[in-house]
Amino acid sequence: MKTIQNEFLIIGSGIAGLSFALKAAEHGSVAIITKKEKAESNTNYAQGGIAAVFSPDDSIKYHLKDTLSAGAGLCHPEAVQLLVEQGPNRIKELIDWGVEFSKSSDNSFDLGREGGHSKNRIIHAKDYTGSAVESALLSATKRHPNIRIYENHSAIELITEHHLRQRSIPAGSLLHCWGAYVLNEEERQIITFLAKATILATGGCGQVYYHTTNPRIATGDGVAMSYRAGAVIANMEFMQFHPTTLYHPQAESFLISEAVRGFGGILRLGDGSSFMEKYHPMASLAPRDIVAQAIDAELKIRGEECVYLDITHIDSDAVKARFPRIYEKCLSFNIDITKHPIPVVPAAHYACGGVQSDIKGRTSIIGLYAFGEVAHTGVHGANRLASNSLLEALVFSHEAICDAKNFVKTVTAFPDIAEWDDSGTFNHEEWILISHDKIEIQQLMWDYVGIVRSNLRLNRALRRIKLIINEIERFYKKTKITQGLLELRNLAYVAMLIIESALRRKESRGLHYTTDYPHRNDRYWLKDTIVVRNSQKTGE
């Protein structure tokens, strides 16, 4: 079996992984593994922008207040303070790496506003900010001699004490991570990637839902692997549903940026009437959880399939200049957004929970770091404030390298790690049966674990997902590994974590709304929901 050894192993090639790699490469060799092409990530699909304080009428205090308010009491204040204070510096680093943000006529940043923000603070590159950031970071990593990117490589499992030839693990001892077993999809070869520090930057898990804005690679790999390895997982019940994705059979839940509402867009019903003023003082600019729940309620009350985002009252040239990608995409479906309202529905968008990590990106497994959407840093609480996601990835990747560059110096040798046993045969007939599990997972999560939940729905979903996991595990143990099988297995575990976490939180807060406990309960539930493998622990 082939073995590759580096100081740093980064799993994922979005903004979190690439920004870390550029800094880590100054302290040792860096390997980046990515499932598809290196530009395929949630970062690449981000439209709106990055929130940071640059306006003279804005302040760190306001950004902090807005973030804490959106998080509905569950944000970790020290993490949010770090986020908003470090934001401007991290944006300046992106500019140094070659990102060109949109400017106003006076050469200052063209700052937009999105739901939940009290000030204009969204720095953007029109409506393709993520793509601009990803492109600049990839160009910078290509130029660095200490960085190598392995495309079409899928992580199978994290290497811990469970994979040592001598597997004795004393009770109560801390786990360590020394890298990962990785599938080279093109050559059908399993490689042992050893590293002194392993970084999870695998992004989100939106593909666990039938309707999602996330790309096909967003299958929750980092969370699932970490859970199986024994890491602490937190707040998986808080899945953010973006309120406005294009409603069209061929659109694949194309994201209509929150910046459209910040630009003056108004949400309307089929009869043309606005409705958000009934649900929140900020009307169409309310936080995402409020807007998604309001749309869901109106659709159920009226039996309609979508609502409409109307920006036809704004100057058409200004709309085209600010949202060129959205304009062209909608026009490809014969929707001219300057003349006709955009049909929209909510779709799964962002996981506010994940692998629990501290403000240095350290997880409960020594040598394993996590930041970006895969992680629960405490920044987002029960609901992420718009455009804080890319910012979180930048800020915490910076904090992580400040710690990891010193940690790798303490690792002088690797233990005796067993080779991966890839014996087995691939049963195409049985794979056809197993592959149907993906559709079933996505559908049951959408139907039972969506915007509105209940104990009845959640318990039904949990019973079925456990059966599916058993089916997948039986197949997994007797067949050769493929990327499709790895993703299916990870989706099933992530679905289970979301369901179990939702069942444990007996209240409604932020993105988690249950009809059995419709009110927020700060007396008992002002805490994170913690899940650890083979444990029933809840709370901090």
The 10 Å Cβ neighbour count of residue 105 is 6
- 3-state secondary structure at position 432: helix
Cα dihedral 539, 231, 511, 259, rounded to 10, equals: 140
Instruction: Clarify whether 288 is annotated catalytic.
Output: yes
Q: DSSP letter for 341, please.
A: P
8 A C-beta contact, residue 446 and residue 491: no
Give CA–CA dist 172/153, Å, rounded.
Answer: 33
Contact 529, 538 (CB under 8 A): yes
Q: Which of 288, 322, 504, 509 is catalytic?
A: 288
> Which residues contact residue 468 at a Cβ distance below 8 angstroms, ignoring those fewer than 6 apart?
437, 440, 441, 492
Instruction: Report in angstroms the alpha-carbon separations of 71 from 3, 254, 352.
Output: 43, 25, 10
Count of C-beta atoms within a 10 Å radius of residue 270: 15
Rounded distance, CA 52 to CA 352, Å?
19
- Give SS3 for 289: helix
Q: What is d(CA 273, CA 50) in angstroms, rounded to the nearest whole number?
A: 31
Backbone angles phi, psi at 148, to 5 degrees: -130, 130
Q: Supply the residues annotated as catalytic.
A: 288
